[in-house]
Amino acid sequence: MSRELDPEGYCLVCGPNNPVGLAAVFRREGGESEAHIRGAKHHAGFPGIFHGGMVAALLDEAMWYALESQGFLGVTGELTVRYRRPVPLEEELTVRGRVASRRGRMAQAAAQLSDLQGRVLAEAEGKFVERPLAPRPANIRS
């Protein structure tokens, strides 16, 4: 999430100052996003496996960043997650998001979480509603 929307850096997925977050750093361009992450024991649902809610948050964030790369700022209106395999902790994983469509104030996006062998562990589709999220400080430009 951009520093202007989360100036203290406490986003659960990408906040660098959240001591229990993932601190994911997303590359984004042209309607796509990508981050490499590694979960820790405190992200577990069961021993050695990511909590499903953390997986959903990660996929949601990847879609948000894909949309943000096209100047779309908004909130999640609907999120559908498919868990394909157990998502391991303490292994490097890749999450990718992409914009599927935009129409007026609405957008759709998709995301996948995969392991280093390219196996899809989870995937999501989301619908987003554009809206101003925070006033943009005068000294910060897009």
Residue 95 lies in a domain: yes
Q: Is residue 20 part of a domain?
A: no
- Of 37-41, 48-52, 138-142, which gets the smallest average pLDDT? 138-142
Q: How far apart are CA 63 and CA 28, in angstroms?
A: 10
pLDDT of residue 65: 95
Which two structure tokens, joined as six digits, stand for 78?
A: 């609907």
Per-residue pLDDT, averaged over 32-46, amounts to 96
Residue 92 has pLDDT above 50, yes or no: yes
Inside any domain, residue 33:
yes
Residue 136 above 50 pLDDT? no
Name the residue among 31, 27, 3 with its Cα closest to residue 15.
3
Q: What is the pLDDT of residue 138?
A: 46
Using pLDDT thresholds of 50, 70 and 90, give the confidence band for residue 134.
low
Residue 14 lies in a domain: no
How many structural domains is the chain composed of? 1
Domain CATH for 125:
3.10.129.10
Does residue 141 carry a pLDDT above 80? no
pLDDT value at 111 more than 80: yes
- The answer to whether residue 139 sits within a structural domain is no
Three-class secondary structure of residue 58 per DSSP: helix
**For the whole model, what pTM was predicted?**
0.90
Q: Rounded CA gap, 79 and 35, in Å?
A: 19
Domain span at residue 112 reads 28-130
Check whether 9 has a pLDDT greater than 90.
no
pLDDT band at 8 (very low <50, low <70, confident <90, very high): confident
Establish if 1 belongs to a structural domain: no
- Note whether residue 41 is domain-resident: yes
**Residue-level pLDDT at 3:** 55
Query: In this structure, is residue 15 part of a structural domain?
Result: no
Q: In the prediction, which pLDDT does 140 show?
A: 40
